[in-house]
Amino acid sequence: MGKHLQKELEKIKKQILSLGAMVEDRVRMAGQAIERTDAQLAARIVETDWEIDEVEVEIEEDCLKILALHQPVAVDLRFLISVIKINNDLERIADEAMNIAERVISIAKRQDPGYRFDYVTMFTKTEQMLKRSLDALVNLDVDLSFKIVMLDDEVDAMHRQAYQRTCDEMGRRPDAIKYLLNYYLISRHLERIADHATNIAEEVIYLIEGEIVRHGKY
């Protein structure tokens, strides 16, 4: 029975990593869409979100099957619980990428009032956090996970900056509020992606250490 369970767990691991790669791809596309205000690329993200949803459901069902049939304990149990949660986080990240795409589509329709907030740095940080959180999962790297949790503060700070600048800009150009709102919400979605990446890192810590480090308990 031991070997059978190990095979099933290996399969789940491959599935979650492949979902991770799919989601990373979508986030990268969203980044390009922001940079070039590319509505076509954005539309492609929105249209293909169902692919992620399907894989997410499949992974969850497989996890439930293993829990019911093998009643795993210890590291195997922690692994499955982590996968169930990471699975959820990845799906939410894909949703946020889709939200960004929708913002980009809205922005592309309106006339550009000439306001730009540099999202490149914020995007690069967020994307890096996601990539590293998946690396931490692949390599079961606790140290890397803790670093990611720290990085989240930087993204939060950038988000606050974007908020402040948008507020100021709205005061100056009340006619462009709709545009500015959509533009600001991109920052909100990026910040959410960084939060989900942090969750993944925290799940990796739980998986390895068996300790729940959410809610600032480190």
Q: Which residues bind other proteins (CB under 8 A)?
A: 1-2, 5-6, 71-78, 208-211
In the complex, the smallest distance separating the C-beta of residue 67 from other proteins, rounded to whole angstroms, is: 13
What is the nearest approach in angstroms of other proteins to the Cβ of residue 150?
21
For the CB of residue 1, give the shortest distance to other proteins in the complex, in Å.
Answer: 6
Return the ∠ at Cα 119 (arms to 115 and 121), rounded to 5°.
Answer: 140
Please report how close the Cβ of residue 203 comes to other proteins at its closest, in angstroms: 15
Residue closer to other proteins, measured from CB, 112 or 211: 211
Q: Which is nearer to other proteins, 70 or 159 (CB)?
A: 70
Q: What angle do CA 65, 130, 204 make, to 5 degrees?
A: 50
Q: Which is nearer to other proteins, 5 or 170 (CB)?
A: 5
175 in helix, strand or coil?
helix
Sign of the dihedral defined by the CA atoms of residues 59, 130, 89, 28, in that order: negative
> Which residue number, 5 or 43, has a Cβ lying nearer to other proteins?
5
Least separation in angstroms between residue 207's CB and other proteins is 11
CA distances from 204 to 66, 139, 210 (A): 20, 10, 9
Enclosing H/E stretch for 14 = helix 2-36
d(CA 81, CA 67): 9
Count of C-beta atoms within a 10 Å radius of residue 192: 19
**Nearest residue (CB) to other proteins, 58 versus 211:** 211
